[in-house]
Amino acid sequence: MVSAEEQLYSDIPPTKLRNKEEKFKPAKTSRFWLWVASMFFFNMLQNRFFAFRYKGAEEAVEKDVPTILFAPHCNWWDGIVLYNITHRIFHREIRLMIEELNRFPLLRRGGGYSVNKKSPQSAMKALQYSVDVVGDMRNMLCIFPQGIIRPPHYRPIEFQTGLAYIAQNAVKRYGKVNLVPVAIEYCFFRDNRPEVVVDFGKRIELSNDQPLNRKDLTHMLEQALTQTCDNQAYTISHGEVSKYNILFKQHLKWYRRIEQRLKSIDLPPVAGV
Protein backbone atom coordinates (compact mmCIF):
# COMPACT_ATOMS: atom_id res chain seq x y z
CA MET A 1 0.00 0.00 0.00
CA VAL A 2 1.33 3.43 -1.00
CA SER A 3 1.62 5.89 1.87
CA ALA A 4 0.46 9.50 1.63
CA GLU A 5 4.10 10.66 1.62
CA GLU A 6 4.95 8.42 -1.34
CA GLN A 7 1.93 9.43 -3.43
CA LEU A 8 3.45 12.48 -5.11
CA TYR A 9 0.72 13.00 -7.71
CA SER A 10 -3.03 12.61 -7.63
CA ASP A 11 -5.56 12.67 -10.45
CA ILE A 12 -8.10 14.30 -8.14
CA PRO A 13 -7.90 18.11 -7.76
CA PRO A 14 -7.36 19.33 -4.16
CA THR A 15 -10.69 21.15 -3.95
CA LYS A 16 -12.53 17.94 -4.86
CA LEU A 17 -10.61 16.08 -2.17
CA ARG A 18 -11.50 18.70 0.45
CA ASN A 19 -15.13 18.67 -0.73
CA LYS A 20 -15.88 22.03 0.86
CA GLU A 21 -17.84 25.00 -0.37
CA GLU A 22 -15.21 27.72 -0.84
CA LYS A 23 -16.16 31.24 -1.83
CA PHE A 24 -14.53 32.65 -4.96
CA LYS A 25 -11.82 35.20 -4.16
CA PRO A 26 -10.50 37.57 -6.84
CA ALA A 27 -7.00 39.03 -6.91
CA LYS A 28 -6.53 41.98 -4.57
CA THR A 29 -3.28 43.74 -5.39
CA SER A 30 -1.76 47.01 -4.24
CA ARG A 31 1.50 48.77 -5.04
CA PHE A 32 2.98 47.92 -1.64
CA TRP A 33 2.11 44.20 -1.73
CA LEU A 34 3.29 43.86 -5.34
CA TRP A 35 6.64 45.33 -4.31
CA VAL A 36 6.85 42.89 -1.39
CA ALA A 37 5.93 39.93 -3.60
CA SER A 38 8.36 40.98 -6.33
CA MET A 39 11.29 41.19 -3.94
CA PHE A 40 10.34 38.03 -2.04
CA PHE A 41 9.78 35.78 -5.06
CA PHE A 42 12.89 37.04 -6.86
CA ASN A 43 15.05 36.43 -3.79
CA MET A 44 13.63 32.92 -3.49
CA LEU A 45 14.87 32.10 -6.98
CA GLN A 46 18.25 33.71 -6.42
CA ASN A 47 18.77 31.78 -3.20
CA ARG A 48 18.01 28.41 -4.76
CA PHE A 49 19.12 28.64 -8.41
CA PHE A 50 22.41 29.53 -10.08
CA ALA A 51 20.83 31.29 -13.06
CA PHE A 52 17.58 32.12 -14.82
CA ARG A 53 17.75 31.86 -18.61
CA TYR A 54 15.00 32.67 -21.09
CA LYS A 55 14.49 33.19 -24.80
CA GLY A 56 11.70 34.13 -27.20
CA ALA A 57 10.23 36.88 -25.01
CA GLU A 58 10.69 39.59 -27.65
CA GLU A 59 8.35 37.85 -30.09
CA ALA A 60 5.93 36.48 -27.49
CA VAL A 61 3.90 39.57 -26.60
CA GLU A 62 2.13 41.93 -28.97
CA LYS A 63 1.49 45.42 -27.63
CA ASP A 64 -2.16 46.27 -26.81
CA VAL A 65 -3.38 42.71 -27.42
CA PRO A 66 -4.64 40.57 -24.51
CA THR A 67 -2.09 37.82 -23.85
CA ILE A 68 -2.36 34.48 -22.07
CA LEU A 69 0.71 32.48 -21.08
CA PHE A 70 0.13 28.75 -20.61
CA ALA A 71 2.59 26.22 -19.24
CA PRO A 72 2.85 22.71 -17.78
CA HIS A 73 2.74 22.39 -14.01
CA CYS A 74 5.12 19.94 -12.30
CA ASN A 75 6.05 21.64 -9.01
CA TRP A 76 5.39 24.68 -6.84
CA TRP A 77 8.31 26.68 -8.32
CA ASP A 78 6.25 27.09 -11.51
CA GLY A 79 4.05 29.83 -10.07
CA ILE A 80 7.06 31.72 -8.70
CA VAL A 81 8.75 31.50 -12.10
CA LEU A 82 5.66 32.83 -13.86
CA TYR A 83 5.44 35.67 -11.33
CA ASN A 84 8.98 36.75 -12.17
CA ILE A 85 8.31 36.37 -15.90
CA THR A 86 5.35 38.71 -15.81
CA HIS A 87 6.88 41.28 -13.43
CA ARG A 88 10.54 41.32 -14.47
CA ILE A 89 10.43 40.40 -18.16
CA PHE A 90 7.07 41.77 -19.32
CA HIS A 91 6.57 44.38 -16.55
CA ARG A 92 2.93 43.53 -15.91
CA GLU A 93 0.90 42.20 -13.01
CA ILE A 94 0.27 38.48 -12.98
CA ARG A 95 -3.19 37.00 -12.78
CA LEU A 96 -2.84 33.35 -11.81
CA MET A 97 -5.57 30.83 -11.02
CA ILE A 98 -4.64 29.04 -7.77
CA GLU A 99 -6.63 26.07 -6.53
CA GLU A 100 -5.01 26.19 -3.07
CA LEU A 101 -5.62 29.93 -2.57
CA ASN A 102 -7.91 29.38 0.41
CA ARG A 103 -4.95 27.84 2.24
CA PHE A 104 -2.62 30.70 1.22
CA PRO A 105 -4.88 33.78 1.02
CA LEU A 106 -1.95 36.21 1.04
CA LEU A 107 -1.21 35.19 -2.56
CA ARG A 108 -4.21 37.28 -3.60
CA ARG A 109 -2.03 40.32 -2.89
CA GLY A 110 0.39 39.16 -5.55
CA GLY A 111 -2.24 38.55 -8.24
CA GLY A 112 -3.61 35.10 -7.46
CA TYR A 113 -7.32 34.25 -7.56
CA SER A 114 -9.14 31.13 -6.48
CA VAL A 115 -10.75 28.28 -8.36
CA ASN A 116 -12.91 25.58 -6.82
CA LYS A 117 -13.27 22.44 -8.93
CA LYS A 118 -15.76 20.87 -6.57
CA SER A 119 -18.48 21.64 -9.11
CA PRO A 120 -18.66 23.06 -12.66
CA GLN A 121 -20.68 26.01 -11.35
CA SER A 122 -17.95 26.94 -8.88
CA ALA A 123 -15.18 26.61 -11.45
CA MET A 124 -17.13 28.77 -13.91
CA LYS A 125 -16.73 31.82 -11.63
CA ALA A 126 -12.95 31.60 -12.01
CA LEU A 127 -13.19 31.16 -15.78
CA GLN A 128 -15.47 34.18 -16.16
CA TYR A 129 -13.15 36.25 -13.97
CA SER A 130 -10.23 35.17 -16.19
CA VAL A 131 -12.01 36.58 -19.23
CA ASP A 132 -12.55 39.85 -17.37
CA VAL A 133 -8.93 40.37 -16.28
CA VAL A 134 -7.19 39.32 -19.50
CA GLY A 135 -8.49 42.43 -21.24
CA ASP A 136 -6.66 44.74 -18.83
CA MET A 137 -3.28 45.49 -20.46
CA ARG A 138 -1.73 46.01 -17.04
CA ASN A 139 -2.24 42.29 -16.42
CA MET A 140 -0.94 39.10 -17.93
CA LEU A 141 -3.04 35.99 -17.44
CA CYS A 142 -1.10 32.79 -16.71
CA ILE A 143 -2.73 29.35 -16.86
CA PHE A 144 -1.72 25.77 -16.07
CA PRO A 145 -4.22 24.16 -18.46
CA GLN A 146 -3.56 20.55 -17.45
CA GLY A 147 -5.60 21.44 -14.37
CA ILE A 148 -3.46 19.36 -12.03
CA ILE A 149 0.21 18.89 -11.13
CA ARG A 150 1.88 16.29 -13.32
CA PRO A 151 5.40 14.77 -13.16
CA PRO A 152 8.17 16.53 -15.11
CA HIS A 153 8.14 15.70 -18.85
CA TYR A 154 4.75 14.00 -18.51
CA ARG A 155 3.28 12.81 -21.80
CA PRO A 156 0.88 13.14 -23.38
CA ILE A 157 0.21 16.77 -22.46
CA GLU A 158 -3.56 16.93 -22.14
CA PHE A 159 -5.60 19.99 -21.22
CA GLN A 160 -8.89 20.53 -19.57
CA THR A 161 -11.16 22.81 -21.60
CA GLY A 162 -10.84 25.89 -19.36
CA LEU A 163 -8.10 27.56 -21.42
CA ALA A 164 -10.09 27.21 -24.64
CA TYR A 165 -13.18 28.61 -22.91
CA ILE A 166 -11.23 31.67 -21.71
CA ALA A 167 -9.64 32.22 -25.13
CA GLN A 168 -12.89 31.92 -27.06
CA ASN A 169 -14.78 34.30 -24.81
CA ALA A 170 -11.87 36.75 -24.70
CA VAL A 171 -11.90 36.85 -28.52
CA LYS A 172 -15.65 37.54 -28.52
CA ARG A 173 -15.21 40.39 -26.06
CA TYR A 174 -11.93 41.96 -27.19
CA GLY A 175 -11.73 40.96 -30.86
CA LYS A 176 -8.30 39.35 -30.57
CA VAL A 177 -6.24 37.40 -28.03
CA ASN A 178 -2.76 35.93 -28.16
CA LEU A 179 -1.74 32.70 -26.46
CA VAL A 180 1.91 31.88 -25.77
CA PRO A 181 3.10 28.38 -24.79
CA VAL A 182 5.83 28.46 -22.14
CA ALA A 183 8.26 25.62 -21.40
CA ILE A 184 9.88 25.71 -17.95
CA GLU A 185 12.78 23.44 -17.04
CA TYR A 186 14.91 23.11 -13.92
CA CYS A 187 18.27 21.54 -14.71
CA PHE A 188 21.93 21.35 -13.85
CA PHE A 189 24.61 22.49 -16.28
CA ARG A 190 28.17 22.97 -15.02
CA ASP A 191 27.43 24.45 -11.61
CA ASN A 192 26.50 22.66 -8.40
CA ARG A 193 23.16 24.48 -8.33
CA PRO A 194 20.31 24.07 -10.83
CA GLU A 195 19.16 26.70 -13.30
CA VAL A 196 15.75 27.85 -14.45
CA VAL A 197 15.37 27.67 -18.23
CA VAL A 198 12.32 29.23 -19.90
CA ASP A 199 11.38 29.03 -23.57
CA PHE A 200 8.53 31.07 -25.04
CA GLY A 201 6.99 29.25 -27.98
CA LYS A 202 5.48 30.65 -31.13
CA ARG A 203 2.67 33.11 -30.43
CA ILE A 204 -0.81 31.86 -31.33
CA GLU A 205 -3.07 34.67 -32.54
CA LEU A 206 -6.82 34.18 -32.34
CA SER A 207 -9.43 36.53 -33.76
CA ASN A 208 -13.13 36.55 -34.64
CA ASP A 209 -12.44 35.39 -38.19
CA GLN A 210 -10.93 32.11 -36.95
CA PRO A 211 -13.85 30.02 -35.71
CA LEU A 212 -12.72 26.93 -33.80
CA ASN A 213 -14.77 24.68 -31.59
CA ARG A 214 -13.50 24.18 -28.06
CA LYS A 215 -12.28 20.64 -28.64
CA ASP A 216 -10.21 21.54 -31.72
CA LEU A 217 -8.78 24.63 -30.05
CA THR A 218 -7.81 22.61 -26.98
CA HIS A 219 -6.05 20.05 -29.16
CA MET A 220 -4.19 22.76 -31.08
CA LEU A 221 -2.96 24.33 -27.84
CA GLU A 222 -1.88 20.93 -26.49
CA GLN A 223 0.22 20.39 -29.59
CA ALA A 224 1.75 23.87 -29.35
CA LEU A 225 2.87 23.36 -25.75
CA THR A 226 4.16 19.85 -26.48
CA GLN A 227 6.24 21.18 -29.38
CA THR A 228 7.62 24.03 -27.27
CA CYS A 229 8.65 21.63 -24.50
CA ASP A 230 10.19 19.18 -26.98
CA ASN A 231 12.16 21.96 -28.68
CA GLN A 232 13.46 23.10 -25.32
CA ALA A 233 14.50 19.56 -24.40
CA TYR A 234 16.46 19.29 -27.66
CA THR A 235 18.22 22.61 -27.01
CA ILE A 236 19.17 21.67 -23.45
CA SER A 237 20.34 18.18 -24.42
CA HIS A 238 22.74 19.75 -26.93
CA GLY A 239 24.02 22.35 -24.47
CA GLU A 240 22.89 25.24 -26.68
CA VAL A 241 22.45 27.88 -23.99
CA SER A 242 24.43 30.79 -25.47
CA LYS A 243 21.37 32.32 -27.15
CA TYR A 244 19.39 32.64 -23.92
CA ASN A 245 18.90 35.96 -22.18
CA ILE A 246 19.92 36.09 -18.53
CA LEU A 247 17.51 37.37 -15.88
CA PHE A 248 20.11 36.69 -13.20
CA LYS A 249 23.31 34.68 -12.83
CA GLN A 250 25.18 34.11 -9.60
CA HIS A 251 28.88 34.65 -9.04
CA LEU A 252 30.87 31.45 -8.81
CA LYS A 253 31.56 30.13 -5.33
CA TRP A 254 35.17 30.44 -4.13
CA TYR A 255 35.94 26.77 -4.74
CA ARG A 256 34.54 27.00 -8.26
CA ARG A 257 36.73 30.04 -8.93
CA ILE A 258 39.78 28.06 -7.78
CA GLU A 259 38.75 25.22 -10.07
CA GLN A 260 38.48 27.60 -13.03
CA ARG A 261 41.88 29.09 -12.21
CA LEU A 262 43.52 25.65 -12.03
CA LYS A 263 42.05 24.70 -15.39
CA SER A 264 43.63 27.78 -16.98
CA ILE A 265 47.15 26.92 -15.83
CA ASP A 266 49.35 25.42 -18.58
CA LEU A 267 51.43 22.69 -16.96
CA PRO A 268 54.76 21.72 -18.57
CA PRO A 269 54.82 18.32 -20.30
CA VAL A 270 56.03 15.43 -18.19
CA ALA A 271 59.18 13.78 -19.49
CA GLY A 272 58.65 10.37 -20.95
CA VAL A 273 54.90 10.81 -21.44
Residue 188's pLDDT is: 95
Predicted local distance difference test score (pLDDT) of residue 6:
60
Q: Which of 139, 167, 150, 153 is nearest to 8 (CA)?
A: 150
Segments of the chain scoring below 50 in pLDDT: 4
pTM attached to this predicted model = 0.89
The predicted structure's pLDDT at residue 120: 82
Closest C-alpha among 248, 249, 244 to residue 57: 244
| pLDDT digit string, tens, across residues 93-150 | 999 999 888 888 899 999 999 998 888 888 899 999 999 999 999 999 999 999 999 9
Domains contained in the chain, CATH given: 14-263 (3.40.1130.10)
Biggest CA-to-CA distance, the chain = 81
Query: What's the mean pLDDT when you consider all of the chain?
Result: 90
pLDDT at position 252 is 61
What pLDDT, on a 0 to 100 scale, did the predictor assign at position 232?
Answer: 97
Q: Do residues 149 and 74 lie in contact, with contact meaning Cβ atoms separated by under 8 Å?
A: yes
Other CB atoms within a 10 A radius of the CB of residue 200 amount to: 23
Distance of CA 99 to the CA centre of its chain: 15
